[in-house]
């Protein structure tokens, strides 16, 4: 099986989707000739022509707004926002328009649109290249929200998103584009070419939206993670010596509640970890659900480990977002508590 970086897997997903369906069009800032600043769309314009892959003006509202119009015509646009931090000008188009078109037209119009964006920190990108806005989208009815943690899932989830009949927010942890990190800030990343999850099947396959996966089996506590935090969770499990079960959510909305509930009922404990700011973060939703569905199985309060409630700091990002030490402390804590 070929091994790929996450960038290559995302590119491959585009190729597969565009070959199978001529309605798939791809555009965004620097996306056409150059192939995007992270090169996720490199070669698509050459292969499919400028009708199918092109550069857009720097106007995120325009990118998403025109994509909605294209979807209304019958195309399947997959657009790139250069960084998740720049999605806000398009927020109105996504939240007030894309998310509601099916509902408000009683299915007369639909919006099969995918909005991709690099997300998260760990690359010294400062406050405008590092944010994790997933909770701003999971709160919106009508959207699906996806965040892969490895090349295999990235390709399968992206094809599924493009083929999905609904608007999908596809968040790509840029920290994982070239290789997973070991959970620690001071060690080099492992290349995907040496990592089992760098194995990406050729051709068409999908990873279904709404299905989580158990990344590490354990019996003492369930860790709910997604994106970069999956690696932090694995590292924290090793570091703490706590027999943690790590679940990679993959899709935040719709959420795979079944897998979560089964795991927490088994372990009796739950720790949630995300990079985004704590207050009203997606962890709050997860904690509420676990409490609702597993209350009588819980042996300790649910814990959340997250980014601090501050803007994202450039120089101190490794203090800002959770590392294995903070998560390991929480794991030890729930075992004692």
Ligand X SMILES: Cc1ncc(C[n+]2csc(CCOP(=O)(O)OP(=O)(O)O)c2C)c(N)n1
Q: Which residues bind ligand X (CB under 6 A)?
A: 29, 58, 60, 82, 86, 89
Closer Cβ to ligand X, 126 or 313, answer by number? 126
- Residue 22 contacts which entry, another protein, ligand X, none (Cβ below 5-8 A, type-dependent): none
| CA torsion angle 314 248 136 73 (round to 10) | 120
Beta strand segments in the chain, E: 24-28, 53-55, 76-80, 114-119, 144-146, 168-173, 213-216, 221-225, 244-248, 251-253, 270-277, 303-307
Show contacts with another protein in window 24-83 (CB under 8 A).
29-30, 32-34, 37, 50-51, 54-62
The yes or no reply on residue 284 touching another protein (CB under 8 A) is no
8 A C-beta contact, residue 14 and residue 26: yes
- CB-side neighbour CA atoms (13 Å) of 57: 5
225: β partners? 248
CB of 125 vs another protein, minimal distance in Å: 7
Give me 296's structure tokens: 């009588």
Q: Among candidates 114, 328, 168, which has minimal Cα distance to 241?
A: 328
| Of 211, 261, 308, 335, the one binding another protein by CB under 8 A | 308
What region, left, alpha or beta, does residue 258 occupy, with left being phi > 0 and alpha being psi -120 to 50 degrees? Answer: alpha
CB of 47 vs another protein, minimal distance in Å: 15
Of 14, 129, 152, 274, the active-site residue reads 129
The yes or no reply on residue 129 touching another protein (CB under 8 A) is yes
The region of 10-18, 176-184, 227-235, 307-315 touching another protein under the rule CB under 8 A is 307-315
The yes or no reply on residue 280 touching another protein (CB under 8 A) is no
CB of 61 vs another protein, minimal distance in Å: 5
Closer Cβ to another protein, 189 or 257, answer by number? 189
8 A C-beta contact, residue 53 and residue 25: yes
Q: How far apart are CA 158 and CA 116, in angstroms?
A: 9
CB of 135 vs ligand X, minimal distance in Å: 20
CB of 36 vs another protein, minimal distance in Å: 9
Q: How far apart are CA 257 and CA 126, in angstroms?
A: 34
8 A C-beta contact, residue 79 and residue 55: no
The yes or no reply on residue 125 touching another protein (CB under 8 A) is yes
- Residue 57 contacts which entry, another protein, ligand X, none (Cβ below 5-8 A, type-dependent): another protein
129 included as an active-site residue: yes
List residues with catalytic annotation: 129
The binding site for another protein (CB under 8 A) comprises 29-30, 32-34, 37, 50-51, 54-62, 85-86, 88-89, 124-129, 278-279, 308-311, 313-316, 319-320
């Amino acid at each position: 099986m070929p091994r790929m970086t996450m960038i290559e897997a995302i590119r491959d997903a585009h190729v597969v989707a565009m070959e199978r369906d001529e309605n798939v069009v791809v555009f965004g800032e620097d996306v056409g000739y150059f192939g995007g600043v992270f090169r996720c769309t490199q070669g698509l314009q050459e292969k499919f022509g400028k009708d199918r892959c092109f550069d857009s003006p720097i106007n995120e509202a325009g990118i998403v707004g025109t994509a909605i119009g294209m979807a209304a015509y019958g195309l399947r646009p997959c657009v790139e926002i250069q960084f998740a931090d720049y999605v806000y000008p398009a927020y109105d188009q996504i939240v007030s328009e894309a998310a509601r078109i099916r509902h408000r037209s009683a299915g007369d119009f639909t919006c099969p649109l995918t909005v991709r964006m690099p997300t998260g920190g760990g690359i010294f990108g400062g406050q405008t290249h590092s944010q994790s806005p997933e909770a701003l989208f999971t709160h919106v009815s009508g959207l699906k929200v996806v965040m892969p943690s490895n090349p295999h899932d990235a390709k399968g989830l992206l094809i599924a998103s493009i083929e999905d009949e609904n608007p999908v927010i596809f968040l790509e942890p840029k920290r994982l584009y070239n290789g997973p990190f070991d959970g620690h800030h001071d060690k080099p990343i492992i290349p995907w070419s040496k990592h089992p999850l760098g194995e990406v099947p050729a051709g068409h396959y999908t990873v279904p939206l709404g299905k989580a996966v158990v990344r590490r089996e354990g019996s003492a506590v369930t860790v709910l993670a997604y994106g970069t935090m999956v690696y932090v969770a694995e590292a924290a499990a090793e570091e703490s010596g706590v027999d943690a079960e790590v679940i990679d959510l993959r899709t935040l909305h719709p959420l795979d509640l079944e897998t979560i509930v089964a795991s927490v009922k088994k372990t009796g404990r739950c720790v949630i970890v995300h990079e985004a700011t704590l207050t009203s973060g997606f962890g709050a939703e997860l904690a509420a659900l676990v409490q609702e569905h597993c209350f009588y199985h819980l042996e300790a309060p649910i814990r959340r480990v997250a980014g601090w409630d501050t803007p994202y700091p450039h120089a101190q990002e490794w203090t800002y977002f959770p590392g294995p030490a903070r998560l390991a402390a929480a794991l030890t804590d729930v075992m004692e508590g």
